Structure 1
Amino acid sequence: MNSSDRIAVQRYAAAYNGLSASNEEAARRAADLRAAQEALSAVREYMTSPRVSSEQKKQTVKDALQGAPETASFVELLIDAKRYGLLEAVTRRVGELLDERLGIMRAEVASARELSPAQKKAAEEALSARYGGRVEASFITDPALLGGLKIRCRGELIDGSLQGRLAKLQEELTH
């Protein structure tokens, strides 16, 4: 994505987020946009084809999003501006803005094996204490880690994996 597209994503997401007066309304709108993006992902090739007119694309949006007219209008705006290809990025950014409104930080926790519910809760609590706010983590398994955890949160990587420790030890021994 080029810098012009990144700026456009920021502006469209901010405008969409700015339509909401309350956090509840912002959450509803963000969910509507996610649902719209998912519903339209099945026809992505059609929606991005230069052979399909804007009017045909807008009709597809109206048909697919009958239950969410405000969201349909927003997607139609992207079509008119020839920015429909940014819908996925705008949707992601709207979610990030909602998290900011709600004071939620997102983290990704990778482990060699599936963590128990108690371990997941403990990891979220430790991250919340470290970052001074509510952290919601997504958990993935990566057998290549061998053991320990690898955590990404707020642009920071905390590598407590066995693989990371071995790499650090090797670095220390060779220098």
Structure 2
Amino acid sequence: MGVFDETKCDCCVCPMQCVLEQLVEETIFIQTVVSEDEVVITGVKDFIVSSDIGNFPICQITQMFIEDPTNTLITRVLSALKPIKNSKEECACCEDPMTNLLKFEIGNTFEIEFIGPNVPFTDEILGVGEGIVIGVAFEDGFTFLDIFSSCAITRTTPVTQQQINDPDRPSRRNTPPPA
């Protein structure tokens, strides 16, 4: 991806495009602020996702999920995560705080609320990269791979009382985490 002078493209859209490129020809559910659609991705180019039902601007995608993903697909998606960096402008106040908080919660389970019509999801966090949080959920005998835009997350809540009470939990630190 190119350089966009520390804009929303750097912290949300470019990282999401890299993840979406791993999902070409896959059936996924895309959530935007106003809709949830099951689609087959046919292409990803110039910040647009092409699908069997139309085109979606990547900047409007808040969350995606894949039902019963293969281990290979999970590995591909996790390997597409971009390194976390400190951003400027909109990204510094919107994306960075949630990304930095959740990077210390990999392996823990959270209820994650986000901008969109279908919230919240309860996920074990598998990976966190620049602008992206990836989790896995188990519900009614199905496994779901969930991909969230950090910018669209509106709340995270630890699921277990032990997580809530643990003063050593990285996201409860009163001191900054190591760089």
* Common fold: TM-score over 0.5: no
Q: TM-score, normalised by structure 1?
A: 0.29
User: Larger % of helix: which?
Assistant: 1
Q: TM-score, normalised by structure 2?
A: 0.29
User: Larger % of strand: which?
Assistant: 2
The one of the two structures with greater contact order (alpha-carbon pairs below 8 A, sep at least 6) is: 2
